[in-house]
């Protein structure tokens, strides 16, 4: 059975089919674009959270590095003070156990070694005196002193140069010199 249609009916059917296919293509395209936008927003949100975590972590690491430097200075200052050395070494070791994961790996290990070197520094001095050779004692002393540089280098904070201050760069002090 053959159905015959007039030109008008064929045109109308063609327009309906064209409209439906256009609507379907548009709906699929909108779905794909919305999905990509949602995925992009989720990725940006995750990156934003990760950046917040990194910033927070960096702030904590800087704080811990400053504490490490302060405690290092106390360790260095009691090197030749037998009555205070044990207490300061014990405090330093307790602090290290609470904060070591925030220290850079190179600092973490050396810091612990320095605490141990300071705690038995008198033994190293006695051995050097007995052997009449201070080479090993000098190496240990050098490691104790150089820990400060290791701590400083681990945080590597960019400085504000005087020329940047004069130019009035964003974030720099706006002083006229």
* pLDDT tens digits, one per residue of 141-150: 999 999 999 9
Structure tokens that stand for 67 in this block: 């504490």
Q: What residue spans define the domains of the chain?
A: 58-163
Where does the chain have alpha helices with state H?
7-77, 82-99, 105-119, 121-131, 135-155, 162-167
Distance of alpha carbon 126 from alpha carbon 84, whole angstroms: 19
| pLDDT at position 18 | 81
In tens, the pLDDT along 70-97 reads 999 999 999 999 899 999 999 999 999 9
Region 136-161: mean pLDDT is 88
Residue 76 Cα distances to 60, 72, 155, angstroms: 24, 6, 21
| pLDDT at position 41 | 76
Read off the pLDDT band of 175 (50, 70, 90). Answer: very low
């Amino acid at each position: 059975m053959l159905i015959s249609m007039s030109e008008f009916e064929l045109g109308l059917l063609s327009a309906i089919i064209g409209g439906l296919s256009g609507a379907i293509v548009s709906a699929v395209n909108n779905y794909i674009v919305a999905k990509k936008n949602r995925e992009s927003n989720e990725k940006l949100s995750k990156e934003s959270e990760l950046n917040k975590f990194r910033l927070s972590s960096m702030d904590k690491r800087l704080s811990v590095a400053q504490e490490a430097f302060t405690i290092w200075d106390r360790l260095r200052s009691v090197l030749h003070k037998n009555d205070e050395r044990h207490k300061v070494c014990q405090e330093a070791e307790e602090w290290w156990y609470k904060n070591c994961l925030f220290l850079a790996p190179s600092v973490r290990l050396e810091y612990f070694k320095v605490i141990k070197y300071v705690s038995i520094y008198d033994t190293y001095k006695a051995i050097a005196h007995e052997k009449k050779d201070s080479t090993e004692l000098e190496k240990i002393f050098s490691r104790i002193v150089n820990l400060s540089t290791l701590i400083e280098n681990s945080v590597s904070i960019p400085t504000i140069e005087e020329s940047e201050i004069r130019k009035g760069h964003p974030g720099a002090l706006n002083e006229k010199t």
